[in-house]
């Protein structure tokens, strides 16, 4: 349904995206021009601005005033050293370039063409740090609650998060990984709450699209790949390099197929989270853009109603995507640490009816 709505609005706004002579976009995110030379609203520019990263945090626009938070520009140039200054140095208040540097479509470049290494605190990085602080504050309070209410019923913030923690432990960790789940539970809890919190933060007005950033989802998928690889036992690799239950002549052919599967699993984790979160933001912004595309308030009740519906749906998607990412991660780890069982070879016994956690999951 979400893909169908996204396709519909891409087609609907195609004439707007295909303007032949758009006005030049300024170097800073807060002063980006969202209109063409004809004065028409450019929905594509607005949507890409909100789902993308930037070197300053733009919250909202009141009249002609942009409410923004300048972020640190940290750049290293070989032969010139380190440059640290505020992103407010760029733009109309000062000038388009500063200290030999300028922003071109949110990429920091040198005016003389020399290489620049950008270590700036961008909007997504600032949002990541903010979410880390929130997670630390929340779960420090939960830990204090466990110490204070030891042997008693949970109270306060502890009572809210304890069922979720137990759910991740019992329904994801224990069932997908098995007896060795405790070793990996901290990682599972971390990715679940990090993804869930940032999905929710991304729905706030003016917030960053952190979990809709492919670099962030790539990092979590890569960590899952590393943990799975270094936790795997000999039976896991024997399934890959000498697949049991397969005719002998077919086994060499299965090796590259199985190796591709090792990479495709974390790749699917990366793309699934990125695509679902970004698509949700684009759909909501597309509904709101309809008011300006048709240049009439008559469509606003319908547009806002659908936008509100998708926003409420995204609250469910925020938790669902965190659950799916964590569950699949646990299943991949479980397939790597599972010990040899007779049911792998189709032999009956005590484990014949037990759920298998093989690498095929």
Q: Determine the pLDDT at residue 31.
A: 39
- State whether 114 and 137 are in the same domain: no
Residue 220 makes CB contacts below 8 A (sequence gap 6+) with: 191, 195, 269, 270, 273, 325
**Residue position matching structure tokens 């997908």:** 176
Calculate the alpha carbon distances from 173 to 168, 193, 228 in Å: 6, 14, 14
Q: Total domain count for the chain? A: 2
Q: Are 192 and 323 found together in one domain?
A: yes
- What one-character-per-residue DSSP string does 107-171 give? EEEETT----EE----HHHHHHHHHHHHHHHHHHHHHHHHHHTTTS---THHHHHHHHHHHIIII
Answer whether residue 269 is part of any domain. yes
Shared-domain flag, residues 201 and 159 = yes
Which pLDDT score, from 0 to 100, does residue 165 have?
94
Enumerate the β-bridge partners of residue 84. Answer: 74
Phi, psi (5° rounding) for residue 95? -165, 170
**Inside any domain, residue 27:** no
Q: Could you tell me if 81 and 153 lie in one domain?
A: no
Contact 303, 290 (CB under 8 A): yes
CB atoms inside a 10 Å sphere around CB 182: 11
> Could you tell me if residue 259 is inside a domain?
yes
My answer on whether 105 and 157 are in the same domain is no
85 within domain boundaries: yes
Q: Do 113 and 201 share a domain, yes or no?
A: no
Output the six-digit token pair for 223: 């960590």
Asked whether residue 196 falls in the same domain as residue 327, the answer is yes
**Cα separation of 242 and 137, whole Å?**
48
CA distance 92 to 28: 9
Phi, psi for residue 27 in degrees, rounded to 5: -80, -20
Domain for residue 26, yes or no? no
Domain with 181, as residue range(s), is 124-342
Nearest-angstrom CA–CA distance, 120 and 124: 11
Name the burial class of residue 205, with classes exposed (0-12), middle (13-18) and buried (19+) by CB atoms within 10 angstroms of its CB.
exposed
Confidence (pLDDT) at 99 = 79
Task: List residues bridging with 85 in a β-sheet.
Answer: 73
pLDDT digit of tens for each residue in the chain (361 aa)? Answer: 545 444 444 443 333 333 333 333 333 433 344 444 445 777 788 788 788 888 888 887 776 777 888 889 898 988 888 988 888 887 644 457 787 888 887 888 888 888 889 898 999 999 999 999 999 999 999 999 888 887 788 888 888 999 999 999 999 999 999 888 999 999 999 999 999 999 999 988 888 889 999 999 999 999 999 999 998 888 878 777 777 777 888 778 888 888 888 899 999 999 999 999 999 999 998 888 888 888 888 888 898 899 899 999 999 999 999 999 999 999 999 888 887 653 444 433 444 444 444 444 4
Q: Are residues 76 and 104 in the same domain?
A: yes
Q: Find the radius of gyration of the CA atoms of the chain.
A: 25
Residue 314 to residues 50, 123, 301, Cα–Cα distance (Å): 16, 21, 20
Q: Is the sign of the CA dihedral 88, 89, 94, 96 positive or negative?
A: negative
Cβ–Cβ < 8 Å for 356, 177: no
Looking at the fold, whether 151 and 222 belong to one and the same domain comes out as yes
For strands 72-77 and 65-70, give the pairing: unpaired
Q: Would residue 151 count as lying in a domain?
A: yes
Domain-located, residue 260? yes
pLDDT at 10: 46
DSSP string, 276-293: HHHHHHHHHHHHHHHHHH
Asked if 278 and 322 touch (Cβ cutoff 8 Å), the reply is no
Domain identity same for 131 and 115: no
**Contact in structure between 32 and 91 (CB atoms under 8 Å):** no
User: Residue 40: inside a domain, yes or no?
Assistant: no
Same-domain check for residues 169 and 306: yes
Please indicate, yes or no, whether residues 196 and 263 belong to a single structural domain of this protein.
yes
């Amino acid at each position: 349904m979400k893909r169908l709505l996204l396709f519909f609005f891409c087609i609907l706004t195609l004439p707007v995206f295909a303007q032949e002579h758009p006005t030049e976009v300024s170097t800073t995110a807060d002063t980006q021009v969202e209109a063409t030379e004809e004065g028409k609203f450019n929905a594509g520019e607005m949507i890409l601005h909100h789902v993308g990263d930037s070197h300053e945090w733009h919250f909202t626009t009141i009249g002609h005033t942009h409410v923004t938070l300048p972020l640190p520009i940290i750049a290293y140039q070989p032969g010139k050293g380190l440059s640290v200054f505020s992103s407010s140095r760029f733009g109309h208040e000062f000038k388009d370039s500063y200290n030999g540097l300028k922003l071109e479509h949110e990429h920091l470049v040198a005016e003389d063409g020399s290489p620049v290494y950008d270590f700036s605190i961008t909007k997504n990085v600032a949002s990541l740090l903010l979410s880390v602080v929130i997670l630390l504050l929340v779960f420090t309070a939960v830990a204090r609650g466990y110490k204070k209410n030891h042997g008693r019923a949970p109270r306060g913030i502890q009572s809210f998060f304890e069922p979720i923690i137990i759910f991740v432990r019992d329904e994801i960790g224990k069932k997908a990984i098995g007896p060795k789940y405790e070793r990996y539970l901290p990682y599972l809890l971390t990715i679940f709450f990090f993804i869930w919190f940032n999905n929710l933060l991304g729905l706030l007005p003016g917030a960053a699209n952190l979990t809709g950033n492919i670099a962030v989802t790539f990092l979590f998928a890569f960590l899952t790949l590393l943990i799975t690889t270094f936790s795997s036992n000999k039976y896991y690799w024997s399934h890959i390099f000498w697949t049991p239950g397969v005719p002998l002549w077919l086994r060499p052919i299965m090796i590259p197929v199985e190796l591709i599967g090792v990479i495709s699993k974390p790749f699917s984790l990366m793309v699934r989270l990125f695509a679902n979160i970004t698509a949700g933001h684009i759909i909501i912004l597309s509904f709101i853009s309809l008011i300006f595309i048709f240049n009439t308030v008559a469509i606003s009740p319908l547009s806002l109603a659908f936008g509100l519906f998708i926003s409420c749906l995204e609250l469910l998607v925020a938790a669902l995507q965190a659950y799916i990412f964590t569950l699949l991660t646990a299943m991949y780890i479980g397939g790597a640490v599972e010990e040899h069982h007779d049911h792998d070879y189709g032999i009956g016994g005590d484990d014949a009816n037990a759920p298998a956690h093989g690498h095929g999951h």
